Every structure is written in structure tokens, then in C-alpha cells.
Amino acid sequence: MSKEKKITEKQLESIKEIQQKINAILLDVGYLEARKQDLIFANAEAGKEMQEIKVELEKEYGQININLADGSYTEVEKEAKDLEVVE
């Protein structure tokens, strides 16, 4: 029977350490991906809330631009469109 072939203990320990680092990194990546999905969902929800507020404000004030520093607003000027005469 032939002698069992092995790498050195130092080489084996190096490989185990690197594998542990890789596993920890992959675990962190998985956590970050889950967190990313949570943040994407939260952003979509905030966008919906903003749209609801915009609709309410537009009903009350018309189309306006709001200064977020002090709450003042200016009305949005509608562009005059040339009417075409069809004969």
C-alpha cells in the first residue's frame, strides 16, 4: 500500500484561513443584498407617499414649485401653445 499524500500543515492552515475569509465575505454579501432589497422597497414606498402628497398639493394649489427651505412656493407657468387652424 502506498503512503498517503498530504500537503503541509502550514499549507492546510493557510487554505482554511482563506476559506473562512471567503465564507465571511459571502455571508456579508448576502446580508448586503438583503439590506439592498429592503432599501429599494423603502425607496419605492417613499416615492408613493411623495406622489400622494404631490396630488393633494396640486389639487389645493395647482402646479407649484416648493422651496423646501422655507415652504414658500411659486406657481408653475404654463407654456402658451400655438393653436393650429385646420381648414
pLDDT in tens, 20-54: 999 999 999 999 999 999 999 999 999 999 999 99
Q: What is the pTM of this model?
A: 0.65
Per-residue pLDDT of 45-80, as tens digits, reads 999 999 999 999 999 999 999 999 999 999 998 765
CA angle 49, 53, 59 (to 5 degrees): 150
The answer to whether residue 82 scores a pLDDT higher than 60 is no
Cα-flanking dihedrals φ and ψ of residue 4, to 5°? -65, 135
Cα(36)–Cα(64) distance, integer angstroms: 33
CA 50 to chain centroid? 16
Concatenated DSSP letters for 3-27?
PPP---HHHHHHHHHHHHHHHHHHH
